[in-house]
């Protein structure tokens, strides 16, 4: 069973850019209500696509440089990386079925 991984500036390259599988990157904050609602949905997505997709979580308060690098202005911001490139992005809470469709488009 695949669980989301916490990513820092030091691990971003190895966990996201160099990943062999698509990576869903969740930019979140502890004070963000919609982030708290999105987190269990992403946990389910990580389990559903175990071995096919990785879910990475980035705390924007702890990792301000990464948030600035990817121009994260609102939370949650979710990006999908494939082959080291950003291939999709959405902002705000979304239903699981929409997230699943977006993930499947990149498998």
Q: Which residues are catalytic?
A: 32, 35
Beta bridge partners of 25: 56, 79
Q: In a 3-state reduction of DSSP, which class is residue 54?
A: strand
d(CA 49, CA 1): 9
Specify the length of the chain in residues.
Answer: 107
d(CA 85, CA 107): 14
């Amino acid at each position: 069973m695949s669980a989301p991984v916490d990513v820092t500036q030091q691990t971003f390259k190895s966990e996201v850019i160099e990943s062999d599988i698509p990576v869903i990157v969740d930019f979140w904050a502890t004070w963000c209500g919609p982030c708290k609602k999105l987190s269990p949905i992403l946990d389910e997505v990580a389990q559903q696509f175990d071995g096919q997709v990785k879910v990475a979580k980035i705390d924007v308060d702890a990792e301000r440089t990464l948030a600035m690098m990817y121009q994260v202005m609102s939370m949650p911001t979710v990006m999908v990386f494939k082959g080291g490139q950003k291939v999709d992005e959405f902002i705000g809470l979304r239903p699981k079925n929409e997230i699943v469709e977006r993930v499947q488009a990149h498998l």
